[in-house]
């Protein structure tokens, strides 16, 4: 067990704070995912959720207001890498599921090991731009979370939300992956307009500086 700490739940279900740092309740006690610190309060163990390592934590720290995750949410996570952020979502959606799509075989190896320890995480080696390839493995998705750092980020999100009938989505847009020559603010506003044109309600847009340069989190709901 880590050192004792006094923390309370934030307005977001399953996200805790000591009024400075963020934490989630560790589903696999005494186990770290990316070198984060562990703390305990009473019999419960918590993992620090570090905004410089996770864009979803950065979004919360920067005042993000939309959080479509609770204990039973079924999530499709695109661009899971080795599972840093996905592991915190796994701590949050304790009776839900996190389907983790990753294209890089190197990251996927670590992801498979992590999913082996966490009963609500499922690894999928696939290209997020081709949801038809993993459609047979994934069902009843409520929220799509995307962080793929490649081109055509909006169209990948829209395609996945449509394929799986998801009601909400969050996308960590990396401006430089879309167009290195465009100002990031312009990339973010074009992404927002494109999502609106395709029938989504944009509920939040938060640039992620100082935690992540040239990134913004955009949250959408189906209208
Ligand atoms: C910035 S990293 C993700 C970090 C991770 N979301 C986190 O917070 O822990 C982006 C990941 O997206 C993956 N990726 C890029 N294009 C992809 C695609 N088309 N389908 C699936 N994964 C993709 C990359 O291999 C990389 O692991």
User: What tens digit of pLDDT does each residue of 17-34 get?
Assistant: 999 999 999 999 999 999
CATH 3.40.50.150 fits 55-222, yes or no: yes
Please state the domain extents for the chain.
Answer: 3-49, 55-222
Whether omega for the bond prior to residue 219 falls within 30 degrees of 0, making it cis, is: no
Q: What is the pLDDT of residues 95-112, one digit of tens each?
A: 999 999 999 999 999 999
Query: 5 CA distance to ligand 1 centroid (A)?
Result: 33
**pLDDT band at 4, cuts 50/70/90?**
confident
Torsion over CA of 52, 149, 168 and 72, rounded to 10 degrees? -60
Task: Please report which confidence band the pLDDT of residue 5 belongs to, taking 50, 70 and 90 as the band edges.
Answer: confident
Q: Ligand 1: which of 88, 103, 153 to mutate, most ligand atoms within 8 Å of CB?
A: 103
Judge if the beta carbon of residue 147 lies within 6 A of ligand 1.
Answer: yes
CATH of domain 3-49: 3.30.200.20
Helix count (H) and strand count (E) of the chain? Answer: 6, 13
1 has pLDDT over 70? no
- Looking at every residue in the chain, the average pLDDT score rounds to 97
Q: Is 127 in the pocket of ligand 1 (CB under 6 A)?
A: yes
Task: Find where tokens 């320890």 sit.
Answer: 117
Find out whether the beta carbon of 84 lies less than 6 Å from any atom of ligand 1: yes
């Amino acid at each position: 067990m880590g050192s004792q700490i006094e923390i309370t739940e934030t307005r977001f279900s399953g996200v805790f704070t000591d009024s400075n740092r963020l934490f989630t309740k560790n589903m696999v006690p005494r186990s770290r995912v990316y070198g984060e610190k562990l703390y305990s309060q009473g019999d419960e163990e918590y993992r620090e959720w570090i905004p410089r390592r996770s864009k979803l934590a950065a979004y919360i720290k920067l005042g993000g207001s939309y959080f479509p995750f609770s204990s039973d949410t079924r999530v499709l996570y695109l661009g899971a890498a080795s599972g840093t952020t996905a592991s915190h979502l796994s701590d949050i959606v304790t009776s839900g599921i996190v389907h983790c799509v990753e294209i890089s075989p190197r990251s996927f190896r670590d992801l498979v090991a992590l999913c082996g320890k966490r009963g609500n995480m499922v690894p999928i080696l696939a290209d997020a731009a081709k949801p038809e390839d993993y459609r047979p493995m994934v069902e009843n998705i409520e929220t799509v979370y995307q962080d793929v750092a490649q081109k055509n980020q909006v169209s990948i999100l829209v395609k996945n939300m449509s394929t799986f009938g998801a009601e909400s989505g969050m996308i960590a847009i990396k401006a430089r992956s879309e167009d290195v020559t465009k100002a990031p603010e312009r990339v973010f506003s074009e992404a927002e307009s494109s999502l609106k044109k395709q029938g989504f309600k944009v509920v939040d847009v938060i640039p992620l500086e100082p935690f992540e340069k040239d990134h913004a989190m955009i949250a959408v709901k189906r209208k």
